[in-house]
Structures are given as structure tokens and as C-alpha cells.
A and B are shown apart, each in its own frame.
Chain A
Amino acid sequence: MDENDKNIKLPYFGIPKILPYITKYKKKMIGMMFLGCIVSGLDALYPLFNRYAIDYFIGLQTLDTLGIFVLIYFGVLVIQVIVNYYSTYWSGQMEMDINHDLRNASFNHLQTLSFSYFNQNNVGYVHARIMSDTGKIGVLASWHLMDIVWNGSYIIMALITMLTINMKLALYVILLLPIAILLISLFQPKLIAYHRNIREINSQITSDFNEGITGARSIKTLVIESLIERDFDKDTSNMRKTSIRATRYSAFFSSVMVMMGSIALALVLWQGGLLTMERIMMIGTLSVFMNYALNLMEPIQWIIETIAALIGIQVNIERFTKLMETESDVADSKEVIEKYGDTFNPKKENWEELNGDVEFRDVSFQYPDGDEMVLEHFNLNVPKGTNIAIVGETGAGKSTLVNLVCRFFEPTSGEILIDGRNAKERSQLWLHSNIGYVLQSPHLFSGTIRDNLRYGKPDASDEEIMKALELVSATFVLEKMDKGLDSDVGEGGDLLSTGEKQLLSFARAILADPKILVLDEATASIDSLTEKAIQNAIDTVIQGRTSFVIAHRLSTIVDADEILVVDDGKIIERGTHKELMRKHGHYYDLYTRQYDEMIVNTIGNEA
């Protein structure tokens, strides 16, 4: 994916695409550019003070009005300092404000995207869109812009001054400019390629470290330290080699540029010297020219580097706008939003009570990134309070049905009815507010236990929270932590074990008092005794609720009203436990194999 990103060319560097985010700051931007012009313009004028000092005071051998001269110089300086402060501060503000807006825009847009987006793009990639692409674009609209303004106005001002003072001598310096521009343009592309290469190796080294640290235990148990170190050495050697090459190249390049300045200086000294000797030009003027000759090369280099940066930023603009243009494939219609509100502004007063009847009617489904129908003309009626179990082997595709019920995906054809009406007729938020969800790999947010448990019900009281914890036998987690409900769970719940996280996420789901409950292999890493306790809790809480349970261990779902057996993404059997056992099919195999050995032993034992 990144490979294709490299050489993106957008019209006008992609700037039109980000205009909507900039226009808000139009006034400040114009102000900052205007002030920037003044700052550099004044910078270009300073050599003229020197010229005056040489030609007037020294040339005429007088100290008359030296005091006024100093005052004027100082006055200009003070003006420049003030103007400079505002132009840089505004530029900084601009950068930060635009970053801020872009981060908000991308984050908020992501909240509306459907699951297929998250399935197709990994977290690291999406995270970089919010945190890093936005920053690059902010720099573009502030510092890169100002770099062009500052350096551009310096060059223009210097050229005007030179041409005004002495056209012929000015032309000698100007003659060198195209050569400099040509040289820089020739060097630049390879330099950019080097830097890209270095960045790539650098991120490889970072992920090597990541592997060495996260994988340290596995590396130890396998005793493959030397192998891993050998690979690491390959990357660091590569880094050293490439960096040195890149610097050799850029050092050569910058030495050439400094040489160009010196050549300009030499030219001015030669031609200007002749003019001065012939008394056509004064020494002060010669000194001004020498000053410009030396100082013109750097701004040119800066401008060209800025343009190179602009070319690089197109990738970021492209990625950002691509994200913003991605539309959710699960979207509420206009009418629905009008009545029920959108994700951020729900109109709860119009929300109907959710009863809990779910029905799949002639549903066919194919994952947006998949190439096969995983459901075909599927029908399933789940009246309120029904318990549906979904079983199958690891990776068999057990989550599909749940994804559809939760409207994380829309059916390719057919419809899903909630309380007898097509799910699309109500808002996603309405549905989600009525669903409790416990994941296979439990996810907690950094914050306190209370924050986490309240996630599904922000106004839950401590009594309610305690009740939920008791229901899932998780009060021991509180006793373990020193601050009770106020205990911090760490980033992503790091301070708790997987089993504890699972219990808490279970309590969280129950606390929200959902009409529909989804348990995704919720009991996978809890020991038997705790599991039994949770099983009891499940039996209690699914009373009166429509529930979908995805389970590994079949013992937990024998009482389900209907069991769906999934294999290779498709539903191959369905029925109650008894029906399925009688069928002697896949389910029967799964179930008996799990318990056969045990029964033999029990019987043998009892005998």
C-alpha cells in the first residue's frame, strides 16, 4: 500500500484539497504573509546601513549625524523585532490550529466509518493518519509557506536593491542564479530518495527493537539470540552505510553551494573593484554587493528545499483526503438522521423502545474485501429473549452473524428486521445503545475501573456498578486493587490479567442493561471455577434478553434456543442441542469428541 503512495502527483501540490481547512484562517494567513514580507524586506535592507556608514561617514571623514544614524538603525530594528514576533507567532498558531482542526476532522470522521474500513486498514496505519499526516499538512500551511515568503521577499528585495544601485554589477550576480537553481534541482531528487530510504531503514530498526523486546521471552526459550542479533546487525549496518552515503552526497552538494557564493563574491570583488578604482562606484556600495553575493545562495537553496518538501507532503494530503472521502458502507439515510439524529447528535426523544425481536429475512452476505458469499438466502427468526449460540472451529467465521446483527456490516441483499422493521429504518446509534457486547480479546480504556464500567452507562451509580460486579463474580478484582473503583487499569487495561479484563468487560456490558447481548467467546481465558460463576451469571442476565453467544466450549451453550454450527464461513447445521445431537453431524462430532473421553472415565470410575 505504501509503495503506491510514494510518487503521488496532485494538481497544485494537492493544496486545493486542503483549502476548506485553511479558509477559516484566511485573514490571519494574509496578515502573517504580509508581516513576513516586511521582516525579510528589512533584512535585505540592512547592508544599506553599512554602505551609508562607509560611504558617508568614513568616505567623507565625518561623525556628523552618527547619533541619528544609530537611532534610525535601532528604530528599524525595533520595528523588525515586533513585526517578526507577530509573523512567527501567527505562523506557529496557524500550524497548531490547522493541525488541531485536521486531527479533529479525521478522528471524528473515523467514528462514523464502518467495520470494513477497520478490517482493511490496521490500527497503526489509521493512527498515523490522525497523528502524523495532519501535522505535516499543518507545517505546509504555516512554516513552508512562510519559508517561501521570507526567502522569496529577501531575494526580490536584494535583487531590486542591486539593480537600482548598479545594473551591470547586479547582472553578474544574477547570472549565477540560474546555475545555482539548476544545480540544486539536479541534486535534490537523489537527496530526497536517500532520506526516504533512511526513514524506511529507521522504521525497520524500530520494529526490530519492538520484536527484540516484545519477543524477548520467545527468543530466550528458543535460544535464537545470535540469529536475531545477526539480522539486527544487518539493519544497523545498512543504516550506517546509507546515512554516510547520503551525507557524503549532501555535504558535497552544500560545499558546492557555498562555493557558488564565493564565486559570486569573487566576481563582485573583481568587477566591482575595477569600478571602484575608476571611482565609478564607492567602496560602501562594493561592500553591499559583496554582502548580497554571499547571502543570496542560501535563500535560493531554502526555497528549492521547500518546494521539495511540498512535493513530499502530497502523499500526506492524499492519505488524509482519502480518509475524509471514505464513506461508511453502513450509513444512516437522510430521513433516519432527520428523525433519530446522527452519531454525534442523537434525537433520543424520538427513539422507540427496543423490544429485542431480531429477524434475518432472506439475507445474503459477502464481506466487502472477500470474494465469496458467506451467507446465502439465510433466514432466522430470533424473538425477544431467545438465546442463539454460534459454534465452530477457530477461524470458521463465527462473528459474521453478530456483525450483521450489530449492523457493523449491512447485508448484501435481504434485510435484517429489528422489532419487525428493517434495521435501516432506525439509526445505528439507536441500535448500538441497546446492545451489550463482550469481546474475545477484552478491551478496556485507560482510566479507572469506574470509568470503564460506566462506559455503557455514563450515569451508573456505585451501587449499580457493585451489583454488576457481583453478578459476574468480579468483586475480587476490586479487593486486589488498592483504590477500589478508583483504581487505574493502565493503558488498555494493562494492569489487569486477561481473565480480569474479561470479567470487567462483562460487567460493563451488563451494566448497560442491553436488550440484545452479544458474547464473543467471552469465557475463553478464565479458569473453570470462575467460568462456572460467569456461566451462572450469563444464565441470569440473558433472561428476557435476546442474546447471541459465540462459544468454544460447547458445555456453555447446550441450553441455547438455537445453535448455529459454522464451518468455513458458512452455516452448515442449525437446531437445538437435542436436535443437533440426534442428527449425528458436525455438531455431534464436536460435542462428543469433547466429552467422550470424560464419560468413559466417569462410568469407569463409578463402576
Chain B
Amino acid sequence: MKSEKFPTNTSLIIHFLRGSKRYFILAIFFAMLVSLLDLINPKIIGYTVDTIIGTDPSSMPNIFNNLVDKLGGINYLKANIWVLAIMIIIVALFSAIARFLFRLNNVKGAETLVKTMRDELFDQILHLPFKWHGENHTGDIIQRCTSDVDQIKMFLSEQLTSLFRVIVLIILAIIFMLQINVKLTILSALFFPIVIGYSYFFHEKIGSQFEKADTQEGILSSIAQENLTGVRVVRAFGREAYERERFEKQNREYTNLWIKLMHYLSLFWSTGDIFSHGQIIAIMAYGVYLTVNGEITTGNYIAFIYYNAMLTWPVRMLGRVIANMSKAGISIERLRYIMNSQREIEKENTIKSDLRQDISFKNITYKYDNSTKKVLDNVSLEIKAGSTVGILGSTGSGKSTLMYLLDRLYELNEDGGSITIGGVDINDIDRAYLRENIGMVLQEPYLFSRTLEENIKIAKDEATFNDIEEAARIACLNETINNFKQGYETSVGERGVTLSGGQKQRTAIAQMLIRKPPIMIFDDSLSAVDSETDAKIRNALKDNIAKSTVIIIAHRITTLMHADKIVVMDKGKIIEEGSHEELIALNGIYRKIHDLQLEQGKLIEEEENGRE
């Protein structure tokens, strides 16, 4: 196993943060500024109460006192209180601007980060080997790319920056509070660990409950999903009552879980008030005591109460942020799995050789990782340039694997034989070039959520509409498309018209044909097409692709019988090889399958004979 690209969560986060760091740093700077500015106004209010309304000497810093002197001294302010009001507004204005800049930089950071994460994940996914996609569940990967990304974004942009903000706020507020009174500050600070601890403890505990609820929701959601996709089965078996019972049971379970969660949450929210308000009461009582004893002024008492109140909510939030760190940690871990997966290896010094050459498979033996079972066992096969080869075999006989190896969708095992095209080892050929020139139609092709025209054109950007129509015609798709109201403009895929399996296969064939690749592989890609269309396509192909090397994998003898060479595969080995006539004469498996498929044909014969 090679060493991982991102050995720790931190290394991955740092990697993702590289474009957005500066925004977050700016955001934190402005957040600090906001905290600082917010702490000034209570001081002005305290000053107003003590020095302007009351008669105490100023406890403000000298800069402020000098400013007051320039304006005309305390007596000027006493006559014009509005000046203080204006000061408050000016401070508030600066605070508002800093607040705006904080949020702006924060969102720039967050969105840049999310974009980086998504782009990199997407790029990674597209460049992971074919096999990886077979081994991993689509739904799981999508969830990692969407909700885990959101989770990390939320944590970094909403929680982590406010964590900084809160810490700065607490430090600054404590400095301001200390100036007013040390004892009162200590009393206030005593409550912080209690509030943070309680909040942390609670969120830590409730976290697993949320996960449970999520799981239950997933189950409920898939019951509904299966019911809807299987609506024909449900109806045809008359099982509506059973479905209803199943859904209602799960619905009840899920609801009860949430109600229990609601109970905990309500308990936390309401009991949390005891600590926060308890702190307020304690500060108020002790503050009153100190004020009456003349240790602090009335204005400072009011200012202190403000500072204390300012900290109540942020401190409560702190516990939650800490608890959520573990959640975000799990999400990062889940992304790390994707980012650490080995991409397709790009070799250096590759060439772009001519692919209209003989293809040669030599002693191919292939095993999946961690498996001892041989999917292919010493397979050798020669394919003449420009010839047509048919491959027949049951599911799991290794015929598709052989083709995946040729297209380098799978990489050959070490000492697992070699594949050459015109004598050049395919590992020495540029991979993208190789795949571009091997047109491979999969058994279950995927159509993109675009129009039919775009779907065909996707394989060749510079294709004209005539090219597209021509490819569609050869694939016997033209007529189908023209039957759609919007013709080639018809949207397919997730948000468009649902095509039948055969129509999808034909679209994929058109997609391949538009490239006119020198090697064409049909991996059981005519299975959902009816025999008539199957024949039409094959005839059209024959007229149009004379120079290409064609490999057809199929279960139907009629599809294969005209091939120059037919190969029968079983359990990873080639067991019969030759022309149709040769294989029939051989009287082996090919003959047996042929006869089974043919049996009904004899009836025609009798029918025809009977008419004569």
C-alpha cells in the first residue's frame, strides 16, 4: 500500500483551505474589530451616567478625556447630551461596517472553500479507476460530496470563525471588566466553565441521538422510495395494506425518536437559562453590594451588566462548537477516504501509435485485489485489424473483464500477460488516446441530463448536426428521435424523458459512432434492442464501418454468427474459437446454445414446408 496523500484530517483541511485562507484571516480580523467596537458603547453609557448625569470623575481613558476637553469640557457635554448620542451612533456605524466586512470575508472564504472542495472531489471522482466505482455505492459517495461538504463548510464558516470571535470577545470583555472591578469579574468568569461544560456535555450526548434519527429517517425515506418505484408490484399483488402498515410503523418509530430528542433539546434550552440567568442574578446582587459599598460607580455597574449580558449567548454557543468539532471531524474523515483513493496512474513517455492494427492478448490472467479467484485464466486471443470478433459466454465468464483490460479501464495484474495493438504494449500508449480510439458501448449506458442531440455530440464537440443525424441513423435511433415531439431537442436523463433500455443502448451506440473509432466494442449493448432492430443496426454498421475492428459481446447467436471469428468463453477461459460453421461442426457449447435458440425456428420450416 502506498502512503496516503492526506495522512491526517488536518492535512486535508489545510489543502482545501489554500485558496480561502486569506478571506478567513480577514474575517477573523474584522470579527475582533466588531468585538472591540461593541465594547466601547457600554463605556460611553457608563460615562454618561456617572460623569454627565452624575458627578463622578471620568473613568475613561485619556484619549477620550482629551477629546471631551477639545469639545468644551464636561460642562459642554452636560448641556449637549446629544453629542454623546452621536458618539454612540458613530461607534455603532464603525461596528456595523466591521460587521459587514466580517460577514463578507467570511462568506467569501466559505464559498471559496466549498468550491475548492467540490471541484477537487469531482475531479478526483472522475479520475478514480473504473473498479473503484464498482466497489463503492453511488448513494454513499453522493452523500459524502453533498452533506459532508456542507457539514464542513458550516463548521468552518459559521462555527469556527465565531469560535474565534467569541474567544476574542471573552478576552476583551474580561479586560474591560477587570478595569471596572476585579472581584466582580472573577465571579462572572467562574460561570464560564460551567456553562461551556454543560453545553458541551449536552451536545456531545445528543449527537448520537441525532445520528440515530438520521438513520431512521433514511429507512423511512427508502420505504417510501421503494413503494413508489415498485408501485406496479404493490398494486399487482394487492399489497397496499401491508405497505401502509410498514410505512406507518417506521413513521411512528422515527417520530417517537424525534419527540424524545425534542424532550432533551427543550430540557437543555430551558435548564441552560438557569446557569445564564443565575450568573446575571449573581452579578447583579454582588454588583449592587459593591456599588452600595462605593467600590464601583453606578455607571460602571450598568456597563458591567452590559458586558456580562453580552457574553451570555456566545459562551453558551462555545460548548456547542466544541461538541460539533467531532462531527466535522467525521465528515472530513469521510472526504479523506475519497481524496486518498488512488487515481488512475498516468505513465510518462507514452505514445500515440496507430490503432488500426492487429490486437493481441497474450496469456492474460486476471484477479481482483484481495481475491484468489481467477476472473481470466491464461487467455490468449488474436484479433486481425478490421475483422469482426464475437464473444459468447455466460455471465461471469470474464468476457467484459477482457474488454475492460483492453480499454485500460482495468489495469493488468503484474505478470498477468500482455495486450498489444500492432505490437505496441497498450501500457505504452497514451491512455486518453487509447480510450478515445476504442469506442466502447456498455451494457447499461448512462445518458446525461441533456438533450438527445447534446448526448450524441458529447463524444465529439465539433460534430455537425449532419454527423449527429448520420450516427443516429446507423444506430436506428433517427426514427425514434423524430417520433418525439421535440425531436433531437428532447431532454433525457434525470430531468427529461425516460428512455427504454433499448433506446438508451442505441443512443450510446450513436454516441460512439460519431467518433468513428478504429476499434469498436459492443459489450452486450444490443441486449435490450429487439431482434429486428438488432439486425438493422448490424447491417447498417457493416456498410459504414468497414475499416474498424469490431468486437461484439452478446448472448444471441444471430448477433454473433456473421463475425469473422467467434470466441466462446467459460469461467475465465476460452473454450471454443472459430467461425460459425467451424463451431457448429465442433458440436460443443456453441452448438448447444445455437440449437436452443434455434428450436423454434424449425417450426417455421415445417410451416413453410406445409405450405408447399
Contacts and interface: CB of A to CB of B under 8 A. Distances in A.
Is chain B a partner of chain A in the same complex? yes
A259 interface: yes
Contacts of B233: 437, 439, 443, 455, 505
B244 A429 contact: no
Interface in A272-312: 273-274, 276-277, 283, 286-287, 290
A191 B519 CA distance: 55
Contact of A58 (B103, B242, B298, B529): B298
Interface string A103-121: 1100110111001001000
B82 A248 contact: no
Given A224-B458, A229-B123, A344 B241 contact: yes
Contact of A96 (B110, B262, B435): B262
A435 B394 CA distance: 32
A394 B529 contact: yes
B273 interface: yes
A50 B291 CA distance: 13
B237 A213 contact: no
B277 A89 contact: no
A112 B235 CA distance: 9
A497 interface: yes
A393 B440 contact: no
A85 interface: yes
B395 interface: yes
Contact of A244 (B111, B123, B445, B603): B111
A598 interface: yes
Interface in B530-572: 530-533, 535, 555, 557-558, 561-562
Interface in B254-284: 255, 258-259, 261-263, 265-267, 269-271, 273-274, 277-278, 281, 284
Given A96-B262, A212-B122, A239-B115, A221 B442 contact: yes
A57 interface: yes
Contact of B561 (A219, A254, A597): A597
Given A100-B255, A276-B53, A406 B532 contact: no
A554 interface: yes
B237 A247 contact: no
A223 B439 CA distance: 10
Given A209-B145, A221-B442, A594-B531, A256 B224 contact: no
B274 A259 contact: no
Contact of B119 (A103, A222, A236, A594): A236
Contacts of B35: none
A263 interface: yes
Contacts of B231: 115, 118
Contacts of B225: 123, 127
A322 interface: no
Nearest to A274: B81
A4 interface: no
Given A225-B127, A491-B222, A206 B142 contact: yes
A558 B603 contact: yes
B227 A107 contact: yes
B531 A593 contact: yes
A104 B458 contact: no
Interface residues of A, number: 164
Contacts of B597: 528, 555, 598
Interface in A69-105: 69-70, 73-74, 77-78, 80-82, 84-86, 88-89, 92-93, 95-97, 99-100, 103-104
A287 B302 contact: yes
A438 B273 CA distance: 61
A553 B237 contact: no
Interface in A38-90: 46, 49-50, 53-54, 57-58, 61-63, 66, 69-70, 73-74, 77-78, 80-82, 84-86, 88-89
A267 interface: yes
A445 B604 contact: no
A25 interface: no
A107 B108 CA distance: 42
A239 to B, nearest CB: 7
B423 interface: no
Contact of A553 (B112, B270, B531): B531
- Label chain A's interface by main secondary structure: helix
Interface in B324-368: none
Contacts of A77: 273-274, 277-278, 281
Contacts of A263: 89, 92
B228 to A, nearest CB: 5
Contact of B118 (A86, A205, A258, A582): A205
A395 B503 contact: yes
Contacts of A594: 531-532, 535, 558
Contacts of A346: 241
Given A77-B273, A595-B604, A213 B445 contact: no
Contacts of B142: 206, 209-210, 213
A93 B259 contact: yes
A429 B107 CA distance: 56
Interface in A340-398: 343-346, 393-395
A215 B435 contact: no
B326 to A, nearest CB: 24
B596 interface: yes
B53 A225 contact: no
Nearest to B600: A555
Given A58-B298, A111-B244, A89 B262 contact: yes
Nearest to B601: A595
B70 interface: no
A208 B123 CA distance: 12
A155 to B, nearest CB: 19
Contact of B301 (A58, A208, A577, A593): A58
B41 A262 contact: yes
A63 B222 contact: no
Contacts of A558: 600, 603
Interface string B454-477: 000011010000000000000000
B561 A223 contact: no
A270 interface: yes
A215 B446 contact: yes
Contact of A343 (B146, B241, B261): B241
B154 interface: no
A176 interface: no
Contacts of A237: 115
Given A212-B122, A255-B100, A100 B252 contact: yes
Given A62-B292, A111-B243, A224-B459, A269 B88 contact: yes
A384 to B, nearest CB: 19
B500 interface: yes
A46 B309 CA distance: 12
A171 interface: no
B532 A593 contact: yes
B540 to A, nearest CB: 14
B533 A393 contact: yes
Interface stretch (A11-19, A158-166, A599-607): A599-607
Interface in A517-545: 518, 524-525, 527-529, 532
A379 B343 CA distance: 62
Interface in B123-179: 123, 125-128, 130, 133, 138-139, 141-142, 145-146
Nearest to A95: B262
A262 B91 CA distance: 9
Contact of B88 (A46, A262, A491): A262
28 contacts: A54-B298, A57-B292, A69-B285, A84-B270, A85-B270, A88-B270, A104-B251, A107-B227, A107-B251, A127-B221, A213-B141, A215-B448, A222-B459, A224-B459, A232-B118, A233-B119, A239-B111, A258-B96, A258-B99, A269-B88, A270-B85, A344-B241, A346-B241, A435-B238, A491-B222, A527-B555, A555-B601, A581-B604
Given A88-B262, A89-B266, A524-B527, 10 more contacts: A85-B271, A126-B228, A210-B138, A218-B442, A229-B122, A259-B93, A262-B91, A265-B88, A581-B607, A597-B562
Closest 3 CB pairs of A and B: A92-B262, A262-B92, A437-B236
